[in-house]
């Protein structure tokens, strides 16, 4: 039986003081002791302080990215021992925003600027191997843009991203991974993917895991849906056969709305 995971991705939001206040609100709602597993992914600068606040609460701490080496001349990067020192157990890898794929147009994000977000399927795979080998649980993101969906390519894009993320993973390893299907056009736009369609694509993620790593891996792997998840649509999404949780952006930034999603699970 797969345990539902509700992960909050705060992206580039929140100071340390704000994160501490949020943790107090989460603890007051007893959110670490509910049916769903709960995880908060703040900015790097808030990780340590939030980890201290969450210790013993049952709420897990996650990072928004990782590098694939422990230490060295890699300016700006962060490694597994550094994250673990802060109390991190989950790590988001290959979010569409770190891949430079945005659903909401930003005028200053020219093609040249987008190169800044240099994530590729290869680095996603390297980070996932490194994280897992060092005791962290990867949440690997995949998703298609609106253009790709309208061209009828969503299914192949997802299968391709998942296949490349799974390169050289054994079935046993793959069973412990978490994937998050996040249609790029539904992130931060208020547009949720229709429940049946979200479940169908999460099913493609699972069948791709089966194809690459075997059916036991597909049974074990958790597939989250992300993209404008809120209390009002969480129950329906989480009641489907292939959605095992949610990766939540905007609605994870208010204790009440995040609690509403946790309670829906």
Touching ligand PGA, residues 234-253 (CB under 6 A): 247-251
Q: Which of 60, 124, 229, 243 binds ligand PGA (CB under 6 A)?
A: 229
Exactly one of 226, 238, 243, 259 binds ligand PGA (CB under 6 A); which one? 226
129 is catalytic: no
CB 175 within 8 A of CB 220: yes
Collapsed DSSP state (helix, strand, coil) of residue 194 = coil
- Which residue among 132, 187, 202, 213 contacts ligand PGA (CB under 6 A)? 187
Burial class (CB in 10 A: 0-12, 13-18, 19+), 104: exposed
Q: CB-wise, 138 or 250, nearer to ligand PGA? A: 250
Angstrom CA distances, 115 to 67, 89, 96, 119, stand at: 17, 29, 13, 9
Q: Which of 37, 97, 148, 182 is catalytic?
A: 182
Q: Please say which residue, 217 or 228, places its beta carbon nearer to ligand PGA.
A: 228
Radius of gyration of the chain (CA): 17
Q: How far is the CB of 253 from ligand PGA (least distance, A)?
A: 9
Specify which residues 248 forms β-bridges with: 8
Residue 238 CA to residue 231 CA, distance in Å, equals 11
Interacting residues toward ligand PGA by CB under 6 A: 9, 182, 187-188, 226-229, 247-251
Catalytic residues: 95, 182
């Amino acid at each position: 039986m797969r345990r539902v995971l509700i992960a909050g991705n705060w992206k580039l939001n929140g100071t340390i003081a704000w994160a501490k206040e949020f943790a107090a609100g989460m603890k007051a709602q007893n959110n670490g002791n509910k049916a769903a597993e709960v995880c908060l992914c703040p900015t790097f600068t808030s990780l340590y302080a939030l980890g201290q606040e969450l210790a013993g609460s049952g709420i897990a701490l996650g990072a928004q990215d990782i590098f694939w080496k422990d230490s060295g001349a890699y300016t700006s990067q962060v490694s597994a021992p550094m994250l673990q020192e802060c109390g991190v157990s989950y790590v988001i890898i290959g979010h569409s925003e770190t891949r430079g794929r945005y659903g909401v147009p930003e005028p200053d994000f020219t093609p040249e600027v987008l190169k800044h977000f240099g994530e590729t399927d290869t680095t996603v795979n390297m980070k996932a191997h490194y994280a897992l080998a060092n005791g962290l649980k990867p949440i690997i993101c995949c998703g298609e843009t609106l253009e790709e969906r309208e061209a009828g390519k969503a299914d192949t894009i997802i299968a391709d991203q998942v296949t490349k993320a799974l390169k050289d993973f054994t079935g046993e390893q793959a069973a412990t991974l978490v994937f998050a299907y996040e249609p790029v056009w539904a992130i931060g736009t208020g547009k949720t993917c229709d429940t049946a369609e979200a479940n169908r694509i999460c099913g493609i993620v699972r069948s791709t895991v089966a194809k690459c790593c075997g059916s036991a891996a597909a049974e074990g792997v958790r597939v989250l849906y992300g993209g404008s998840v809120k209390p009002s649509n969480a129950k329906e999404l989480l009641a489907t056969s292939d959605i095992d949780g949610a990766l939540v952006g905007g609605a994870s930034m208010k204790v009440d709305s995040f609690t509403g999603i946790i309670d829906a699970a």
